[in-house]
Amino acid sequence: MKKLLKVSIIAIMLSSSAFAASDGKNELSKKNTQTEIEIKDCFEPLNRATFAFNQGLDKVIFKPVAKAYRVLPSPLRTGTSNALDNLSTLATIPNNILQGELKKAGINTGRFVINTTFGVVGIFDVADMMGFPEYEKEDYGQTLGSLGFGPGCYLVLPVIGPSTVRDTIGSFVNVVGGDPWYNVTVANDTEHFSEFDYWSTRATTGIDFRAKNIDSFENLEKNSMDFYASVRSLYLQDRQMKISNSNTIIDTMDDSDWEEIETK
């Protein structure tokens, strides 16, 4: 029963990836000033089948849960989102260091300390009010890319969604111990935090993301001749922008998750 509960939480946690990239705030635009990065879709038939499976899960599980979440008062949802972003800083800081971005690592460390204390575990983004630069998430897939590792073939993973061989390896590193929050909860299972705390926060992250994009994803699917190809293109471009830390406008804007998608 415990294993079944964990699998369900993981599924909800990763629902955001069923359509988009991993972690912040991206917007889709009709502007397309660069061509898609040439990455082979080596497993396209299997990828399309997995994509369809993920869409089915979304309609049956993720979307209904996200709709229920949207009923919550706006201040409560905003505070939850802020707290989740604050926790994600713990995964960003080591990647800042690995990429040689020591200044960003220092800024994000300051953000975490201020928001965790004065911001009540991050519910209030006090660091932003104090003028700290906008938070930009980093992950191990981005770090591998910045170190020169190629993306490999495009993959669509069950539940997790769009990825590449490189990003899949990066996600694995994060889950098995690259995230300090994972080490505090799952690995050590301290008296203050448990494994459930970790998975529940990850699940809430997926729900929060999906709730923000219900209408936008519907519009994107409705206006796409090939929804699978559209998601693939946007994901690959978004990942390349994150790895290069570029602000150039292509199909995605702002370096982080697609929390707000504009398809009009």
* Of 205, 139, 203, 202, the residue nearest 170 (C-alpha): 139
Assign 13 a pLDDT band (cuts: 50, 70, 90): very low
| pLDDT tens-digit map of 19-60 | 333 343 433 433 333 334 578 999 999 999 999 999 999 999
Measured CA to CA, the distance from residue 195 to residue 193 in angstroms comes to 7
Secondary structure (DSSP) of 96-159: HHHTT-HHHHHHHHHHHHHHHHTTTTTTS-HHHHTTPPPP----HHHHHHHTT----SEEEETT
| 154-157/161-164 β-pairing | antiparallel
Measured CA to CA, the distance from residue 25 to residue 13 in angstroms comes to 17
| pLDDT tens-digit map of 71-99 | 999 999 999 999 999 999 999 999 999 99
Higher pLDDT, 243 or 157: 157
Give percent of the chain above pLDDT 70. Answer: 78
- Token pair for residue 28? 């889709």
CA distances from 32 to 12, 29, 72, 239, 262 (A): 32, 8, 36, 15, 14
Ranges of each domain in the chain: 2-23+36-245
| pLDDT tens-digit map of 120-175 | 999 999 999 999 998 888 999 999 998 888 899 999 999 888 999 999 998 888 77
Higher pLDDT, 187 or 69: 69
Q: How many Å from the N-terminal Cα to the C-terminal Cα in the chain?
A: 44
3-class SS string, 80-112: HHHHHHHHHHHHHHHHHHHCCCHHHHHHHHHHH
The residues pairing with 154 across neighbouring beta strands, listed in sequence order, are 164
pLDDT at 259: 38
Measured CA to CA, the distance from residue 259 to residue 209 in angstroms comes to 6
Higher pLDDT, 117 or 201: 117
* pTM for the full predicted model: 0.75
- Token pair for residue 46? 């299997």
